[in-house]
């Protein structure tokens, strides 16, 4: 089953083309769900699981896979579906997410489809399990629900957003001007994490829910005679988003005669070894892995200090 995944070289060819490969799977029913292949390391038959006392209810246990001990979670239970009855009859999707490796137990794995991000839409309002969906798409006339893994992980791991006092102090003593950022992310939990850090740093922001809306916002500013380059000290964009992904957004911005000088940071939970090459390919200025509040804060502070120096030079 591991052979279901393509090679890294083949996958990186999708960068900047606004396309993705979606691994489809099931959670005990006929409904199909999806996860971006960029998050997936391999797919295996469920191995022996060791139970962990007092662990989170959705944690099935821990497994040793190729010398690496990882937590295996019942993805069905995590998103509000009935638990998978017999884990040993299921499959584990091994993912690398937020610089950690974990397994998600599913009842069955279907196949990989290659589709355009423009075919991925935000989940309809009022849809069941909406809190755990980041998008939906149609594959051969069937609705496929793309799970918001960031929401699942945040609920299980209780991710903190507090920035250390030293970093906040560093910002306060080194910056004289106000700064504004553009945050682009389709995940509600990710937006809360990012804006929580920016709030602690005193950085204001605008928000867009995907790359297309972010690009529209920038173009609307230009049409009103406003300068996005002057307004935004930096742009923080996710990679995986419906309508237009972060790579395609970055590529479009960097190719634009008036937007090209925007400082674009890719802030992504996809933590494979090919990320730096992908970011360089589309012209991103920085790559920040999700989600460490101090690391995000440090990167933002470093950028704001650069802006301060640029302003000093302009005034000299």
What domains appear along the chain, each with residue ranges and CATH number? 2-157 (2.40.50.180), 165-315 (3.40.50.2300)
- The predicted model gives 204-219 an average pLDDT of 96
Integer-rounded Cα Rg, in Å, for the chain is: 20
Using 50, 70 and 90 to split pLDDT, how confident is the model at 17? low
pTM, two decimals, is 0.79
pLDDT digits (tens, 9 = 90+) for 109-151: 999 998 888 888 877 776 545 568 888 899 988 999 998 887 8
- The predicted model gives 193-201 an average pLDDT of 92
What element of type H or E holds 76? helix 75-78
pLDDT number for residue 152: 84
pLDDT number for residue 211: 93
Say whether pLDDT at 270 is over 80.
no
- The predicted model gives 231-237 an average pLDDT of 97
Using 50, 70 and 90 to split pLDDT, how confident is the model at 9? very low
The DSSP string of 134-189 is EEEEEETTEEEEEE-HHHHHHHHHT---PPPHHHHHHHHHH--S--EEEEE-S-HH
What are 63's strand-pairing partners? 70
pLDDT digits (tens, 9 = 90+) for 27-52: 988 899 999 887 788 999 999 999 88
What are 208's strand-pairing partners? 184
């Amino acid at each position: 089953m591991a052979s279901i995944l393509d090679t890294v070289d083949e996958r990186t060819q999708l960068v900047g083309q606004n396309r993705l490969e979606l691994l489809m799977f099931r959670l005990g029913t006929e409904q199909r769900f999806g996860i971006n292949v960029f998050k997936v390391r391999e797919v295996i038959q469920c191995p022996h699981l060791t139970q962990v006392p007092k662990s989170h209810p959705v944690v099935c246990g821990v497994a040793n896979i190729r010398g690496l001990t990882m937590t295996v979670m019942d993805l069905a239970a995590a998103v509000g579906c009935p638990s998978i009855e017999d884990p040993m009859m299921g499959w584990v999707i091994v993912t690398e997410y937020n610089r950690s490796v974990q397994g998600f137990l599913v009842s069955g794995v279907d196949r990989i489809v290659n589709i355009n991000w423009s075919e991925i839409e935000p989940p309809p309002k009022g849809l069941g399990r909406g809190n755990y969906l980041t998008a939906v798409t149609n594959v051969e006339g069937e609705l496929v629900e793309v799970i918001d893994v960031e929401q699942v992980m945040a609920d299980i791991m209780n991710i903190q957003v507090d920035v250390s006092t030293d970093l906040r102090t560093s910002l306060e003593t080194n910056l004289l001007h106000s700064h504004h950022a553009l945050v682009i992310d389709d995940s509600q939990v990710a937006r809360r994490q990012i804006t929580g850090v920016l709030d602690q740093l005193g950085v204001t922001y605008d928000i867009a829910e995907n790359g297309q809306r972010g690009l529209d916002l920038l173009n609307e500013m230009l049409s009103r005679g406003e300068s996005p380059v002057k307004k935004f000290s930096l742009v923080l964009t996710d990679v995986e988003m419906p309508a237009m992904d972060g790579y395609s957004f970055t590529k479009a911005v960097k190719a634009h005669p008036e937007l090209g000088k925007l400082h674009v940071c890719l802030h992504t939970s996809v933590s494979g070894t090919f990320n730096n090459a992908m970011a360089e390919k589309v012209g991103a200025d920085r790559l920040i892995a999700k989600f460490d509040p101090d690391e995000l804060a440090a990167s933002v502070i470093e950028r704001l200090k650069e802006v301060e120096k640029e302003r000093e030079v302009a005034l000299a």
